[in-house]
Every structure is written in structure tokens, then in C-alpha cells.
Structure 1
Amino acid sequence: MKPVLLIIDVQSTFNPPNWLIQKLEKLLPSVHSIATIELHDESIVPFKSQLNWAPSEFDECPLKVEKVFIKYGYSPTDDLIQYLKGLDTQQVYVCGIQTDTCVLAAGFRLFDAGLFPCLVTDLTVGSSLDRSGNLGIQLWKHHFRSITTSENLSSNTMI
């Protein structure tokens, strides 16, 4: 099975920049892709009581991907992990919003599930702490070592 692109939380709640949407739309026809969106349910993850902020209760992914997984919190769900394992893939390319939080959490979840996460550095946006994503990229390199760019994906790896 060819590798999968996992797009994390590209949704209106997190104001994805136009350049990110455009780059992803250009890449999507040539890749096997799934996405997550983060929704709020205080009974599942206490965002409001702990952070006085929460993602929207309703949102959607603006991209045409093969499947969208809903999550309540930072990490991908067991359903997403089982879906990936059902595809008989090990390599998962990860991109999206909040490189230093939700994207990094996806890396840990994939790694712990025995998969091989690789960050697509030019398809990520950091959190409000570091919108450039550089902090998240450095943390990713430290923990997982594997990074690439969308140019490498479209020219070599996934087509």
C-alpha cells in the first residue's frame, strides 16, 4: 500500500491560511489522504474549564479527502489508527494546523501505534505561540527525525 497523507485540523476554527489550502488542494489528487477535525465536547475534553477556550462544536474540513475523522482533543482517535492499519500502510505523512500541539500529538500517537510518521514541513502552521511552525518542526525532528516537503512528496514518494 502506498503511504498516506494525514491532514490535521485544517478547519475554519483554526483559520487555515489560503496558501495552505491551495498547496493541499494541488497535492490531494495524487495522494491517499485522510484528515482530522477537532470539535468541542466539554464532557470529553475540558477545554473551557481548563483553558477558557474551546474549538467549535461544529466544523468541517474544506478539503476533498478520502475520509475525515472527528477528534475531541489533541490526539487522533483509535478509529483513525485502526483505519490506517487496515490500509496496510506504515508510512504516514503528517501536515496541518498547530505543528507544536495537535500535529505533534498525531506524531506521538502514530509512533506509539507502530507507524512511521513523517512531517511535511511546508504544509504546517504553528499555534498562536509560534505561527511559523518552527518550534513544532524542531520538536518533531528531535522525537521522530523524519521530515520532508510537499515537493519531495509530489515528485518522488507518493505518486
Structure 2
Amino acid sequence: MAPMREILLVVDMQNGFMSEKCRQIIPTVIKLIERFLAAGKLVEFTRFVNTTNSNYVKLIHWSKLIHEPETSIIDELQPYINSIFDKHYYSAFTENFSSFILINQIKKIYLCGVETDSCILKTAIDSFERGIEPVIIEDACFSEGGQQAHDAGIFLLKRNIGKNQIQMSDEVIEKIS
């Protein structure tokens, strides 16, 4: 039997999202990336790119992440980038990413990055609904909205995809090593 195909998806670790409160997860994300790569597993990145006519601008009056350098992946992660899946909405499940998942027969997606209460949440639920097991690495995610927004995202994830799908980086590293 072929080994289960797993991926570490690093979600939206971009300059425009990296407030001081979000920067705390960078060392944990790097440790995860290095362990996944050492185990011969896939590591991929998403990048959110807003547009001037998006609902983010029109409905919630949020006009960040339209241009460089806000849209760039943070410098600390540049050496690890293999490919980047651009997206214009919360979920990573664009046409390109969905094709990549299918072609590589991915059965489990480990999620880290930002924002726990939006992009991580939506990607995890989309993964769950596609029959792909999502695992959220709680101490490798955070929200610009602070601890309350992060905790709200984790609460909703436990409720919607199962409490066992929320894990800490040490547990994940132990399983893949």
C-alpha cells in the first residue's frame, strides 16, 4: 500500500499579515517546514492577493494586501518556497491548488499560518468537505485580530471538523519524524 500523501500548507505568511502578534509563530512554522522537508513530505505556500473591486474592499472596507511588499511572503520563509498558490479569497482551494491536491493524491493537509479565524478555518472546512483530512497546528497559527480571534477560530474548527484535528506542533513533529 502506498504511503498516505501528506502536505504542510503554509497559509498567507505575508508581510501585510505579519503584525507583531502574528510574528510569534514564525519559529514554529520554520521548525515544521524543516521537519516536513526532512521527512520527504511536501511543503507548499498560499498567498492572498486582494483586488480593488473585491468584497473585502466593498463590504468590509479592508483594502490591504493589494500590492507588494504587503503581498510578499515574509523574508524568513523565502528560502523554503517551492511554489506559491495565489488566491483571491479565504480558502486555499483555488482551481490550481485543487488540481495539485488531486494530482499528488493528497489525503491529509496540515495547516499553519494566518488567519486562524478566516483563511485557516475556511481552508480546513473545504478540505474536510472534500474528504481530505485537515489538521490545524494550533501553536503555528494566529490571527491579526489577536488571541480572541485565534481562539474563536480554534473553537469553530473543533466544532466543525473535530477536536482531534487540532494539534500542537510537538505532536505533529513526533508523528512525522
Name the structure 1 match of 2:66.
Answer: 57
Aligned to 1:37: 47
Residue in 1 that maps onto 2:83: 67
Q: Does 1:25 align with 2:37?
A: no
Q: Which runs of 5+ in 2 are unaligned?
A: 37-41
**Residue identity in the other structure for 2:112:** C
Aligned partner of 1:65: which letter?
Answer: I
Distance change in 2, residues 1:104/1:153 (3 Å)? same
Q: Which runs of 5+ in 1 are unaligned?
A: none
TM-score (norm 1): 0.88
Shift of 1:2: 3.8
* Residues 65 and 131 (structure 1), Cα distance of their counterparts in 2 relative to 1, 3 Å cut: farther
Match in the other structure for 1:5: 8
User: What are the superposed Cα offsets for residues 30-84 of structure 1, whole Å, 9 maximum, x if unpaired?
Assistant: 21211111111134x3221211112322312232233211111111112112212
Alpha-carbon RMSD? 1.9
Percent identical across equivalent pairs?
22
- 1:28–1:65 contact (8 Å) kept in structure 2: no
Tell whether 2:120 aligns with 1:103: yes
Offset of 1:131 from its aligned partner?
5.1
Distance 1:131 1:65, change over 3 A: farther
How many angstroms apart in 1 are the aligned matches of 2:149 and 2:55?
27
Aligned CA distance change for structure 1 residues 12 and 42 (closer, same or farther; 3 Å): same
Asked if structure 1 preserves the Cα contact closer than 8 Å seen for 2:28 and 2:139, the reply is no
What is the CA distance between 1:141 and its match in structure 2? 0.6
Aligned-pair distance for 1:129? 6.3
Displacement, 1:107?
A: 0.9
Of structures 1 and 2, the larger Rg is shown by 2
Q: How many residues align?
A: 157
After superposition, the Cα gap between the structure-2 partners of 1:99 and 1:15, relative to the gap in structure 1 and judged at 3 Å, is same
- 1:153 aligned counterpart, secondary structure: helix
Of residues 11-20 and 95-104 in structure 1, the stretch that sits farther from structure 2 once superposed is 11-20
- Seen in structure 2, the aligned counterparts of structure 1 residues 72 and 36 have a Cα distance that, compared at 3 Å, is same
| Preserved CA contact (<8 Å) 1:101 1:127 | no
